[in-house]
Each structure stands twice: as C-alpha cells, then as structure tokens.
C-alpha cells in the first residue's frame, strides 16, 4: 500500500489537526507596499489559496476552512467589492474540475442568499458536484459573520419549535454547517491577533497561530510551520 502524507506525519510523531481554519489577512497591505491597487493583492491572495489547499491535502488535513469574505466586508469601496465578487466567480468555476480530480469536497458557510444571484448558483453547483467526494473538505466562508450565524441558528431553532432554553447540542444543529468538526487550529496572517467575527461558536477550544507574513506570501512551508507549533501543544479543554 502506498504511504500517504498523513502516514508519514503520524509516523514522525506530529499531531495532525483535523480542521485548520485560516483568517487570510493582508492582501491590501501587500498591494500597497508594492504600489499596486488593492485588487492586485486579492489576485495574489487567490494564488496563496491555491498553494495552501494543495499543501493541506498533502499534509493530511481533513477540513480546511478559509475566511474569504465577511459580512462586514460589504463596507469596503464598491470597486473593491465588485472585484472580489468577480474573483469568487472566477476561482470557484475554474477550480471545480481540479478539486474533483483530487477528491476534494467544497462547501460554503455564511448568508449565501445575500450574495448576487449568479454567485448563489455557482455555490450551489459547486456543492452539488463535489458532494460525494471523500478527500479534503474545503469550506469557504463567504458573506460570513459569527454573530450572525448564532442569531440565525437561534431564529431557526425558534421557527422549528425547539423548546427554550436551548442546550448546546440543539443549537449546534442550526449552525450553518453543523456536521463539520470545530477548528483544532486557527491561523491568522499579517500580524493581527483577533478573530474578527470568525467561527465564534466553533472556536471555543481552538488553538491559535499568528504570523506576521501577509497572506499573499503564505505558502506550504508556513502551513507546515503552523502545524509544527500545534503539534507541540497540549490541548486541555478546561482540564488541569
């Protein structure tokens, strides 16, 4: 039987996080330092996404979630938002065949019904086409906000006639993607050290890794370094 990246890393004694989440920060600053428009930085960020998805698959990560567009990002300049929407259209459409070939499954978290109609259709098509895949689960958080997710979950629970007060198990059923594991490791690039409304419920016991590297410069070696740091930590979940 052929040895997999997961087999090799387990043999080396490193712990593999099941779910790695990334707050991809620094595209604008990357462009500004080079005298480019912000949208150039977002294009460079897409290339970093491609590198990181391949690396995550090679390293044996089962779920990779990426904070692509927050519910607050609509406040950015109109031309930047328009450009980002165009990038989403291009990336999702162009990468589906490659993800299928690699056995990856693509899913989305966020208020998808708040996106342009054609992007909503692209999202649905991508999820349907890759639904049966058993490899890397790629979760793209699009028009996502952690507080809004909790509000939506509680409102859906109430509409479904759930008895209040809710317990954790019941509330979880109404999250955007209730079946995915909570993030073991959350990585944030660009030197900022905050969650920015990302996976608020799911991050209760996540480990965090911060790097000064701007997202367009992030690569496989940086992901491996983050996993190495995670491997050396002992997760206690509130115990002594």
Mapped to the 3 state alphabet, what secondary structure does 187-219 carry?
A: EECCCCCCCCCCCCCCCCCCEEEECCCCHHHCC
The confidence band for 9, taking pLDDT boundaries of 50, 70 and 90, is very low
Detail the DSSP E strand segments found in the chain: 19-23, 63-70, 105-109, 137-144, 185-188, 207-210
Q: What is the pLDDT of residue 234?
A: 85
Model pLDDT for residues 117-151, shown as the tens digit of each residue: 999 999 999 999 999 999 999 999 999 999 999 99
Confidence of residue 79 (pLDDT cuts 50, 70, 90): very high
DSSP string across 55-87: HHHHHT-SEEEEEEEETTGGGS-HHHHHHHHHH
How many residues are given for the chain? Answer: 240
pLDDT of amino acid 10 = 43
d(CA 78, CA 216): 22
Spatial separation of the C-alpha atoms in residues 162 and 190, rounded to whole Å:
42
Residue 5 pLDDT greater than 50, yes or no = no
Cross-strand partners of 109: 141
How far CA 167 is from CA of 161, 179, 182, in Å, comes to: 14, 17, 17
Q: What pTM value is reported for the model?
A: 0.92
Which domains are seen in the chain, by residue range?
A: 18-230 (3.40.1180.10)
**Catalytic residue, candidates 14, 58, 73, 182:** 73
Q: How confident is the model at residue 14 (pLDDT cuts 50, 70, 90)?
A: low
Per-residue pLDDT reduced to its tens digit, 28-62: 999 999 999 999 999 999 999 999 999 999 999 99
In degrees, rounded to 5, the angle at the alpha carbon of residue 146 between the alpha carbons of residues 27 and 236 is 95
Q: Please tell me the predicted confidence (pLDDT) of residue 169.
A: 97
Q: Is the pLDDT of residue 186 over 50?
A: yes
Contact residues for 44 (Cβ-Cβ < 8 A; gap 6+) = 27, 30, 31, 216
Residue 180: cis peptide before it, omega within 30 degrees of 0: no
Instruction: Tally the C-alpha atoms within 13 A of residue 166's C-alpha that lie toward its C-beta.
Output: 17
For the ranges 64-73, 90-99, 223-232, the lowest mean pLDDT is seen at: 90-99
CA distance 64 to 161: 33
73: annotated active-site residue: yes
**Does residue 236 have a pLDDT over 70?**
yes
Q: What is the pLDDT, as a whole number, of residue 30? A: 98
User: What pLDDT digit, counting tens, does each position of 102-118 carry?
Assistant: 999 999 999 999 999 99
Classified as helix, coil or strand, 139 is strand
pLDDT bin (cut points 50, 70, 90) of residue 83 is very high
Contact 215, 24 (CB under 8 A): yes
Helices and strands: H and E segment counts in the chain: 8, 6
CA dihedral 98, 100, 103, 107 (to 10 degrees): 100
Least confident of 9-23, 96-110, 149-163, 207-221: 9-23
Q: Where do we find the tokens 């990426």? A: 66
Task: Tell me which DSSP letter residue 114 carries.
Answer: G
């Amino acid at each position: 039987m052929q040895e997999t990246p997961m087999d090799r890393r387990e043999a080396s004694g490193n712990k593999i996080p099941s779910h790695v989440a990334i707050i991809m920060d620094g595209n604008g600053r990357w462009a500004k330092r080079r005298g480019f428009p912000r949208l150039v930085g977002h294009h460079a960020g897409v290339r970093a996404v491609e590198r990181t998805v391949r690396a995550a698959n090679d390293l044996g990560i089962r779920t990779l979630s990426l904070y692509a567009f927050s519910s607050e990002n609509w406040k950015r300049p109109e031309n930047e938002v328009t450009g980002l929407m165009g990038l989403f259209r291009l990336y999702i459409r162009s990468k589906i065949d490659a993800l299928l070939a690699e056995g990856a499954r693509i899913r989305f978290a966020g208020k998808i019904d708040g996106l342009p109609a054609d992007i909503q259709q692209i999202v649905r098509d991508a999820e349907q086409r890759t639904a049966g895949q058993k490899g890397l689960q790629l979760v793209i958080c699009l028009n996502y906000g952690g507080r809004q997710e909790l509000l939506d979950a509680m409102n859906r629970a109430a509409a479904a006639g759930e008895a209040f007060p809710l317990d954790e198990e019941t509330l979880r059923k109404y999250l955007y993607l209730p079946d995915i594991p909570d993030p073991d490791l959350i990585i944030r690039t660009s030197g900022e050290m905050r969650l920015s409304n990302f996976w608020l419920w799911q991050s209760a016991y996540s480990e965090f890794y911060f790097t000064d590297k701007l997202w367009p410069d992030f690569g496989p070696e940086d992901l491996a370094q983050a996993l190495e740091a995670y491997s050396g930590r002992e997760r206690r979940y509130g115990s002594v």
